[in-house]
Structure 1
Amino acid sequence: MLQRREELTPAQANAVNRILRSAARIDALAGLLIDFTYARLGKGIPARASAMDARAIVERAIDELRETNPGREIRLESNAAALSGSWDPGRVSQLLSNLVSNALQYGARDAPVTVSLSRDAAGALEVRVHNQGPAIAAGLRQHLFEPHRRGEGAESAHPRGLGLGLFIVREIARAHGGSVEVRSDAQGTTFAVNLPDARPPPVSGDVDRQRETVATGLPAV
């Protein structure tokens, strides 16, 4: 019934939209608290890797963030048209959303937030989120990924925040066997995440056949 919006008056449609947004926030909060509980119990955040295009997942997450943050610029930089691999699509989207939301909150409002996607030499996915603005104090940087840690001014600007966003980012990276680090100076702040590809590496015979195919242009037999 809620989805048949073409039959609703404008006032009813607005009410439905508010209900749906509230339901989405409640669902996200419940998921956040469940993840936090798993992590604190030492079980780690569950991640289920599957074949995916990381660029497509990140583009979709950025589009959603642009819709909820009108007037803010979010850029995506990547030389690859697609970044295929095996990661947890939902967790990658959650990680990206947390990092960009953090950059929007603490970065300069008149400067873009830049998301960079690439692979490292080992084939792992590298995600970088950069924002301009004041440097994070060295004393705070070493505690950023601890739960309930928030940046300067966060309590007054977002009093209902739980301070779990970066903690969840770290746990998602760990669930993929990866890592996250932060660099911050006068040029801005960059969070860099490395997520190894869960696909098994090709066996030596497969590598030899791939090389022969590249060299001759014909499939090896």
Structure 2
Amino acid sequence: MSKTTPVGSSTASAPAPKSASRRQLPEWLKFSQWSLRSKMVMATLALLTAICFIVGLVCFASMSVVLNGRLKETLLNTSRQVTTYVASGNTNPATYPGVGYGTLIAQVKGGVLLTQPTLVSNVVGSKNVEASDISTIASVEPTDGQVDKHLSFGDYRFIAVPLSDGTTVITGIPTDDVNDPLATLISTIILVSASGLLAMGLVGTVIIRRAMAPLNQLSAVATRVSQLPLNEGEVTLAERVPSSAANHNTEVGAVGLALNRMLDNVAQALQARQRSETKVRQFVADASHELRTPLTAIRGYTEMLRMTEDLSPSGEKSLSRVESQSKRMGAMVEDLLTLARLDEGKPLELADTEMTQLVLETVNDMKVAIGDHRWQLDLPSDPFIIKADAGAIRQVLLNLLSNAAKHTDAGTVVVTSLRNVENNMLRLSVRDSGPGIAPEFQADIFDRFSRADVARSGHDGTTGLGLSIVHAIVQAHGGKITLKSEPGHTEFMVDLPRGIAPTPQG
């Protein structure tokens, strides 16, 4: 029984998409990927090539018309003389006056050669033509007019003239007077054009490179400015386009002048921002110092009230609330003072710090303070000693561990590890198995007062200063901190120099 194949169920493989079958051009062949200098040189060479081609074509056509006209007149005159002498009964071509060297003469009647075609020579008069060319010569008809034929010894132009007795006189002259000058002209045009294009390419490249030099200077200045850390701290924007590339005389110079004006404006804006930030930071530092004493007094009086007064449950609750909020405010003040000291660039108390012991002690303290998390260590057996401020590094680790505890649920695993990394750096990392940090928050996580939670009350509320303090301390040690976070894995990695005293940063 035959099987019917449903329509559209053909087993033939579908043709590959056109885009898949096309071969991608290399980058260097894509005109859009070329530099402006290369485009200008190639455009100039292309224009010059077109001009050379057109000029050469016009010269060749003009020369061809002149030479072919001259050859036509020569053939007509020669044919007229040969026909006259043949009609008078003279059969010796060598005796024909005015017949030039290389002239071919033949007589045909009724399709039959009456005489052997002869080639007039300037040496011995005339000589016979080879048999292989006879049929080609005999094929010339009076109706053909002037016709070119290729013979074994060269190219010829023929004309056939009928006589009154039925005889046809065939006369041919070589086309060397046309072909040789045209070949020489073509060779000359190609040689001169190629030399001109080569010279133009070299000279044009040099000229365009010099003309584009100011653009390179503009690009270099813009690149250096783009690499400056303009987002924070005191910035000195001294980069400017040289005066040779910044003037009103040229288009590129006008761009350079505009770039310098823009940089002046940006520098002024950065200076204004720095002055404003300095005032704000000074105010925060002064306010923090002023708040320290009253906050200490509030905590002292709350403790005194608790010890000396018999409070009702409601009063006890209110007093506890005052005490907890004063402690929270005090912690914020201490954080602000720490940042103020770092901003002032005060030198760190650098000393040989044994990191393994420091990490072990700090994590053990966290186990006691926050027991509902699973605190784990991944430490090497050998001690890691670096030049650092032990108190500041301890605060870095405490802030990272506290951050992990505040933003993860009870039972979350928090692992602290130490290991060597490249460039003689030591990596201190804190990772947890919590829900992770939102991607949109990760870019700003080290900014001051940056908070993922919007609430500012409750025991999990944060000031938004902990990670900014970590960032500032790490930078002051000449290190860096990076974050890698996804659901189920969040890791803060602190890289610190090993064995090299860092330069404090303001």
TM-score, structure 1 as length reference = 0.71
Indicate whether 1:91 and 2:397 are aligned: no
Q: Counterpart of 1:77?
A: 378
Q: Counterpart of 1:128?
A: 429
Letter in 2 for 1:62: V
- Once the two structures are overlaid, the 10-residue window that deviates more, 57-66 or 22-31, is 22-31
Q: Counterpart of 2:472?
A: 171
- Once the two structures are overlaid, the 10-residue window that deviates more, 152-161 or 124-133, is 152-161
Q: Counterpart of 1:162?
A: 463
Q: Counterpart of 1:61?
A: 362
Q: Against the structure 1 CA distance between its residues 51 and 28, is the aligned structure 2 distance closer, same or farther, given a 3 Å change threshold?
A: farther
Identical-pair percentage: 27
Question: Aligned equivalents of 1:60 and 1:134: distance in 2?
Answer: 27
Question: Aligned equivalents of 1:72 and 1:159: distance in 2?
Answer: 15
Q: Compute the displacement of 1:125 (Å).
A: 1.8
**1:1-221 alignment to 2 at 5 Å?**
30-39=333-342, 42-44=343-345, 46-152=347-453, 155-158=456-459, 161-199=462-500
Q: Compute the displacement of 1:118 (Å).
A: 1.1
* Structure with greater proportional helix content: 2
Larger radius of gyration: 2
Deviations 1:96-136, CA, capped at 9 Å, x for gaps: 00001001111232221111111213332211111112231
Q: Against the structure 1 CA distance between its residues 105 and 160, is the aligned structure 2 distance closer, same or farther, given a 3 Å change threshold?
A: closer
Q: Secondary structure at the match of 1:36?
A: helix
Bigger relative contact order, structure 1 or 2 (CA pairs below 8 A, ≥6 apart): 1
Q: Compute the displacement of 1:30 (Å).
A: 4.7
Q: How many residues align?
A: 181
Question: Aligned equivalents of 1:56 and 1:45: distance in 2?
Answer: 26
Letter in 2 for 1:84: I
Deviations 1:115-166, CA, capped at 9 Å, x for gaps: 1111213332211111112231121101100111112366354475321100
User: Which runs of no fewer than 5 residues in structure 1 stay unpaired?
Assistant: 1-14, 16-21, 201-221
Q: Compute the displacement of 1:198 (Å).
A: 4.6
Deviations 1:10-56, CA, capped at 9 Å, x for gaps: xxxxx8xxxxxx999887655422112234xx434652220121010
Question: Aligned equivalents of 1:191 and 1:65: distance in 2?
Answer: 17
User: Which runs of no fewer than 5 residues in structure 2 stay unpaired?
Assistant: 1-306, 308-323, 502-506
Letter in 1 for 2:339: F
- Once the two structures are overlaid, the 10-residue window that deviates more, 186-195 or 166-175, is 186-195
- Once the two structures are overlaid, the 10-residue window that deviates more, 148-157 or 60-69, is 148-157
Deviations 1:174-193, CA, capped at 9 Å, x for gaps: 01001111111123211111
* Contact 2:424–2:497 (CA under 8 A) maintained in structure 1: yes
Q: Counterpart of 2:63?
A: none
Q: Secondary structure at the match of 2:338?
A: helix
Letter in 1 for 2:365: E
RMSD: 2.9
